[in-house]
Amino acid sequence: METLFYIFLFIFGTLFGSFASVLIYRLKSGEKGIFLGRSHCKTCNRTLSALELIPIFSWLFSLGKCRGCKQKISIIYPLLEVSTGLVFMFVGVFLVDFEKIFLLNALEIGKLFFWIFVSFITILYIFYDLLFTEIHEGIMVVGIFTAFTGLFLNNFWKINALVLGKQNLAFIEIFSSLALGMLILGFLYIIMLKGLKEIYDAGILIFIGFLLFFYKTTFPETNFSENAILSGIIGAYAIFIFFFLQIVLSGGRALGGGDLRIGIMIGLILGINYSFIGIFLGYLVGSVIGIGILIKSKKSGKSTEVPFGPFLGTGFFLTIFFSTSILEIIRNYFFLL
pLDDT digits (tens, 9 = 90+) for 280-328: 999 999 988 888 877 777 776 666 677 899 999 999 999 999 987 777 7
- Domain extent, residue 88, equals 1-132
4 burial type by CB count under 10 A (0-12 exposed, 13-18 middle, 19+ buried) = exposed
- For residues 57 and 161, state if they share a domain: no
CA separation for the pair 57, 85 (Å, rounded): 13
Boundary residue ending a domain (117, 132, 147): 132
**33 has a pLDDT exceeding 80:** no
**337 has a pLDDT exceeding 50:** no
Q: Indicate yes or no: pTM above 0.75.
A: yes
Number of structural domains found in the chain? 2
* Mean pLDDT value across residues 68-85: 82
Average pLDDT of the chain is 85
Over the Cα atoms of the chain, what is R_g? 22
Residues paired with residue 172 on neighbouring β-strands, in sequence order: none
Residues paired with residue 74 on neighbouring β-strands, in sequence order: none
pLDDT of residue 28: 87
Pick 251 or 158 by higher pLDDT. Answer: 251
pLDDT of residue 229: 94
- For residues 152 and 280, state if they share a domain: yes
pLDDT of residue 281: 93
Contacts of 34 (CB under 8 A, 6+ apart): 23, 26, 27
- For residues 142 and 289, state if they share a domain: yes
* Mean pLDDT value across residues 74-99: 93
- For residues 217 and 236, state if they share a domain: yes
Report the run of H or E that residue 180 belongs to, with start and end: helix 167-194
**41 has a pLDDT exceeding 70:** no
Boundary residue ending a domain (78, 113, 132): 132
pLDDT of residue 42: 65
- For residues 143 and 104, state if they share a domain: no
**61 has a pLDDT exceeding 60:** yes
Give me the torsion for CA of 76, 56, 310, 190, rounded to 10°: 100
312 alpha carbon, distance to own chain's centre? 8
- For residues 244 and 124, state if they share a domain: no
- For residues 139 and 125, state if they share a domain: no
* Mean pLDDT value across residues 117-131: 96
Task: Tally Cβ neighbours within 10 Å of residue 261.
Answer: 25
pLDDT of residue 43: 59
pLDDT band at 36 (very low <50, low <70, confident <90, very high): low
- For residues 103 and 38, state if they share a domain: yes
**132 has a pLDDT exceeding 70:** yes
pLDDT of residue 122: 98
- For residues 241 and 330, state if they share a domain: yes
- For residues 153 and 119, state if they share a domain: no
Boundary residue ending a domain (100, 132, 164): 132
pLDDT of residue 13: 96
- For residues 183 and 327, state if they share a domain: yes
* Mean pLDDT value across residues 92-100: 93
- For residues 237 and 216, state if they share a domain: yes
**163 has a pLDDT exceeding 50:** no
CA separation for the pair 284, 5 (Å, rounded): 33
